[in-house]
Structure 1
Amino acid sequence: MSRFRNVLALAATIAAIHASLAEPLSIILASTTSVEASGLLANILPQFTARTGITVNVVAQGTGKALDTARRGDADLLLVHDPDAEQQFIDEGHGSTRRQIAWNDFIIVGPSADPAHVKGGSDSVAALKAIATSQAPFVSRGDKSGTNAAELRLWKIAGQTPDVLSKEKWYRDIGGGMGQALNAASAMDAYTLSDRGTWLSFNNKGSLIVSIEGDPRLLNRYDVIELNPGKHASAKLATAKVFADWLVSPEGQQAIGAYQVNGQKLFNPSAGSPK
Structure 2
Amino acid sequence: MRQPVARATARRQQGVALLTALLVVALAVTAAVAMALRSQVDIRRTSAVFERDQSRQIALGGEKMVLQFLERIEGPDDLPWDTCRSPTLPFMVDEVRVQATVDNMQCRYNLNALSGADEVEQGFFARLVDKVGSDSGADMPSGAQLALAVTDWMDPETDDPAYRTAEPARVSGNRAMLVASELNSVLGMNSEAWRALAPYVTAYPGQDSPIDAKRSAELVRDIFAGRAAGEQAPWYMRLELVAEFGQRRFYQCSLIDAANGRVVLREQTACEP
Q: TM-score range by the shorter chain?
A: under 0.3
More strand by share: 1
TM-score when normalising by structure 1: 0.27
- Which of the two has higher C-alpha Rg? 2
Q: Larger RCO: Structure 1 or Structure 2 (Cα < 8 Å, ≥ 6 residues apart)?
A: 1
Which one has a larger percent helix, Structure 1 or Structure 2? 2
Q: TM-score, normalised by structure 2?
A: 0.27
